[in-house]
Amino acid sequence: MRLSLLTALLSAAIPTFAANCQALSATPTVKVDLPGHPFQAVSSRDGCWIFAGMIGDGERPVSGIAVIRRGDGRLELAQTAKLEHAVTGIVLTHDGKVLIAAVGSGVWLLDVERLKTGAGDPVVARVDEEQSSGSVYVNVTRDDQILFVSEERARAITVIDLPRARSGAGEKSIIGRIPAGNAPIALTLSPDEKWMYATSQSALPDWNWPPMCDPENPQAKGGKRPEGAVIVVDVIKARTDPANAVAARVAAGCNPVRLAISPKGDRVYVTNRKDNSVRALDTSKLRTDGANALIGKVPVGTAPVPVVVVQNGARVIAGNSNRFGTAGSGNQALTVIDAVRFHEGKAAVLGSLPAGLFPRSLALTSDQRTVILANFGSGTIETLDIKACLKHLM
């Protein structure tokens, strides 16, 4: 009897929407305000839920996870899981039961049902690393066996046995680390999961790459720095021998940060924050002929960060963060690119879409019709009806 009453109360606390969670809105975009600044947002497989990792400050004080209910063309903040650490990158396991969050010095595993209902502590396991590691981004293999964690300050990608981590093994679940350059971020798996493509913002000194890039922050001191890289990782080898899993590293412009892959896996698209551009690279050449991997480079807005591939590979959307500029000073929009015309440079730009302050992540829902945008500076999550939005390019 008590259990039935509790279930009823919890169900009543969750907003009720139409059965079709991925129904499109009457307007091209829908927005919801958050109590923290969203670093990354991901959608459940059924499209009914959006989870956002948040960083709090004086204006928006909550660090943790925002849980957003989606349906009937609407968004509503259902729950907020406040955590003692800021949350950056997040990923859902493929069984839909666990949300994995990077928290700066490792990862926390959160129970999805508890997040949805707000009942009980959602944190079910932790894998703690050194305080200085800078855990920032995460991804997991399709079989939910291997978790990858980008460690910005440790210059490495940690490889974790996920079932062991879920069982509470903590640090004992760490298999090892994949060596990377300075500030590795993106962790994008190929469709067949044989390869993972990571970004590193600049090369290490022992790579002996020439200094070519000015500091992107106007306040930063020092001279020119080497280009960053796309690092190609052999996923099978990474499962057992992470230290020797790097198959190739290829120069990829100044401050490459995020990376998206085409549906066929034949191209990757990289945002270059300092170059104010997006690069397209041939994945087979990344592995075998790095010097000739570049397909083309397209100029976009100021300091692009997120990137996503839509319309079955026909279009690429990049978010221009203007990260080191003044809030509200412009250039914070989404640039839409014709993927076929990448080799034509500027001519490949089809137009732009409005965004909030500091667009920081872009994600595609499972039905391929909607993009989820996290506006870090504005503290909002938006959903964009791709077909409708591309009809109304700025």
Q: What is the pLDDT of residues 97-149, one digit of tens each?
A: 999 999 999 999 999 999 999 999 999 999 999 888 999 999 999 999 999 99
> Is 164 part of any domain?
yes
Q: Residue 108: which CATH number? A: 2.20.25
The pLDDT value given to residue 221: 76
> Is 114 part of any domain?
yes
Average pLDDT score over the chain: 93
> Is 233 part of any domain?
no
Task: Work out the pLDDT band at 3, boundaries 50, 70, 90.
Answer: very low
Nearest one of 140, 36, 149, 136 to 88, comparing CA atoms: 136
Contact 127, 174 (CB under 8 A): yes
Separation CA 106–CA 171 (nearest Å) = 9
Separation CA 171–CA 92 (nearest Å) = 20
> Is 211 part of any domain?
no
The pLDDT value given to residue 2: 42
The pLDDT value given to residue 7: 42
Whether 14 has a pLDDT exceeding 70, the answer reads no
> Is 122 part of any domain?
yes
Whether 11 has a pLDDT exceeding 50, the answer reads no
What is the number of structural domains in the chain?
A: 1
The pLDDT value given to residue 394: 67
> Is 121 part of any domain?
yes
pTM over 0.85: yes
| Domain of 116, in residue numbers | 88-179
> Is 53 part of any domain?
no
Residue 308: in which H helix or E strand, if any?
Answer: strand 304-310
